[in-house]
Amino acid sequence: MTRPLTSAERALATLRDLIMGGELAPGARLGEVELAERLGVSRTPVREALSRLAAEGLVEIAPNRGARVATWTVAELEGVFDLRSVLEPQLTAHAVPNATPADVDELDALARRMHEVGTPGPGQDLDALVPLNRAFHDRLVALAAHPTLATALAAAIHPPIVRRNFLTYDEASLRRSLAHHSEIVAALRAGDPEWARAVMTSHIANARAVMVRAARVRMAEQVAREEESA
């Protein structure tokens, strides 16, 4: 029998989904009354939800000025990747001894399906890749069975970024990323934690490079726009 959720918890979950799903873009204003009406509750639980989301880093609250969906500078994004490049390889290494053959098979299936939808060509479907990628990484984190590291990682990874990042992979980087997943499966099957750790380190470094390049492009576009309007 599952306990009925409180209003504040529903508000929290709904807002989180809205932000992570991209319906609420970074920088969007989050008025308390507006959200309260939208969710059918009073401002009190909305405030509580916003407060907790702020602690998660998904929204930013300025005293007396309200909340906005968090935005990130390039430097902050690089910081997040620094953190991931330390935590995820460690978690992956932890996962190795815990992975049963059945677990490895499931990860293998995910990696194969990512190849199917991710390989450039007629069958490519990048939108399908995002949830598969997420499932793969979540599965690995779960196998690590290390709540503290997992929590620290979850606090750092902001899915809107990952999602956006995925759409900016160039062909070579995307192929590398897909190959990494398969190679992690191989390392798991071999029971070699150092191998798995090394691949995951490469995987994050690759993602980081994609992110930095995309950020540079966005910045150049913005400069162009500003000069145009000047």
Partner DNA sequence: CTCCTCGAGATTGTGTGCAAACCTAGAGGT
Partner DNA sequence: ACCTCTAGGTTTGCACACAATCTCGAGGAG
Of 148 and 229, nearer to a copy of itself (C-beta) is 148
Q: Is residue 213 involved in binding a copy of itself (CB under 8 A)?
A: no
- Show the site string, 69-108: x = touches a copy of itself by CB under 8 A, - = not: -------x--xx-xx--xx--x------------------
Q: How many residues bind a copy of itself (CB under 8 A)?
A: 26
Of 65 and 226, nearer to DNA (C-beta) is 65
Q: At what angle do helices 193-229 and 159-166 cross, to 10 degrees?
A: 80
Contact positions vs DNA (CB under 7 A): 3-4, 6-8, 30-33, 41-45, 47-48, 61, 63-67
Q: Is residue 33 involved in binding a copy of itself (CB under 8 A)?
A: no
Residue type (1 letter), 19: I
Instruction: State how far the Cα of 68 lies from the Cα of 48, in Å rounded to an integer.
Output: 15
Note the Cα 139 to chain centre separation in Å. 14
- Among residues 6, 71, 98, 124, which is the contact residue for a copy of itself, using CB under 8 A? 6
Bridging pattern class, strands 59-62 and 66-69: antiparallel
Compute the least distance from the CB of residue 9 to a copy of itself, in Å.
Answer: 8
Compute the least distance from the CB of residue 151 to DNA, in Å.
Answer: 21
Among the residues of 63-192, which ranges form H helices? Answer: 74-98, 101-118, 126-144, 147-156, 159-166, 171-190
What are φ and ψ of residue 100, in 5° steps? -80, 160
Compute the least distance from the CB of residue 154 to DNA, in Å.
Answer: 22
Give the containing element (helix H, strand E) for 227: helix 193-229
Note the Cα 129 to chain centre separation in Å. 13
Binding stretches for a copy of itself (CB under 8 A): 3, 6, 9, 47-48, 51-52, 54-56, 63, 76, 79-80, 82-83, 86-87, 90, 146-149, 152, 155-156
